[in-house]
Amino acid sequence: MRRSIRVTREERQRQIANVTLKLIARYGVHGATISRIASGVGLTRSALYRFFPNREAMLEAALDLVVERVPRWMDESSGSDVFEHLMDMGRRHAPIGRAEFESFTRPWFQFIAGSSAEHVTHELAKRQLAFVQDYAVLVESGKRDGSIRQDVDSNLVAWSMMMWGWANDVARLVGLEQVMGTDTSIEIFRRMLRDIAGPSRTDSVGPADEREDAG
């Protein structure tokens, strides 16, 4: 006889969130219906509500899965100081974007497109502000290690990084692969960083540094 495998409530909730996220990537927020979610998980509609009170809660759980992937851009980058850490983030954005396109980029923009109708605008904004704050904290660390100028507005730099990332993601969404990770995209990021280079980086940021990074 086949033995059924019992899953915990938390495991089932995560399964439902994963299925919801895949449906959002494929059909958009409006297309992630209760019927499709239930079918994808292999539960009845009524059984689905034992794990989430409503569809909105399922959407927020799916959004949480997207948010889990965001710190990868900062966490998987590194450098001898914060300036180099930020520069590495610029280089790594395109490879991470390719790897996470269906699980992050596409569903994230689907959430944005459908947020007003699904009442998740507040949750999107809250999470976005948290990302920017993390980047601003990193810039502040750069001021302490001397690789970032003291007079730099850390929040402005953090938002500039976020907007650069958005622009690259949109380019991928509309099929402009020739922009993603190319010298043009990376040069825009590099110029932004040259403007905030601190005393310990003043002598090292120049044409030679650019040639090395471009290679």
Domain CATH number, residue 39: 1.10.10.60
Task: Give the model's pLDDT for residue 63.
Answer: 86
Task: Give the model's pLDDT for residue 13.
Answer: 94
Task: Give the model's pLDDT for residue 15.
Answer: 94
Among all chains, which residue has been given the structure tokens 């990084």? 161
138 membership: H or E segment, kind and range:
helix 121-145
CA dist 121 → 68, 116, 143 (Å): 18, 6, 33
54 and 86, same domain (yes or no): no
Domain CATH number, residue 160: 1.10.357.10
The whole model's pTM is what? 0.73
Number of domains in the chain: 2
144 and 47, same domain (yes or no): no
Does a structural domain hold residue 209?
A: yes
Task: Give the model's pLDDT for residue 147.
Answer: 95
AA letter at 43 = L
175 and 200, same domain (yes or no): yes
Q: Which domain holds residue 52?
A: 9-62
Distance CA 59, CA 181 (A): 31
91 and 111, same domain (yes or no): yes
Task: Give the model's pLDDT for residue 139.
Answer: 96
Q: Is the dihedral of CA 159, 160, 165, 170 positive or negative?
A: positive
77 and 161, same domain (yes or no): yes
Of 41, 62, 83, the position where a domain reaches its end is 62
87 and 149, same domain (yes or no): yes
Side-chain-side CA neighbours of residue 187 (13 Å): 9
Among all chains, which residue has been given the structure tokens 């089932």? 12
Q: What tens digit of pLDDT does each residue of 132-150 get?
A: 999 999 999 999 999 999 9
44 and 83, same domain (yes or no): no
Going residue by residue through the chain, which has 215 residues, state the pLDDT in tens, using 9 for 90 and above: 455 567 789 999 999 999 999 999 888 888 999 999 999 999 999 999 999 999 989 988 988 888 777 777 888 888 999 999 999 998 888 888 777 777 777 887 888 777 655 566 777 778 788 889 999 999 999 999 999 999 999 999 999 998 998 888 888 888 776 666 567 888 889 999 999 999 887 655 554 344 344 44
101 and 17, same domain (yes or no): no
Does a structural domain hold residue 1?
A: no
Q: Is the dihedral of CA 207, 143, 168, 23 positive or negative?
A: positive
N- to C-terminal Cα distance for the chain?
Answer: 60
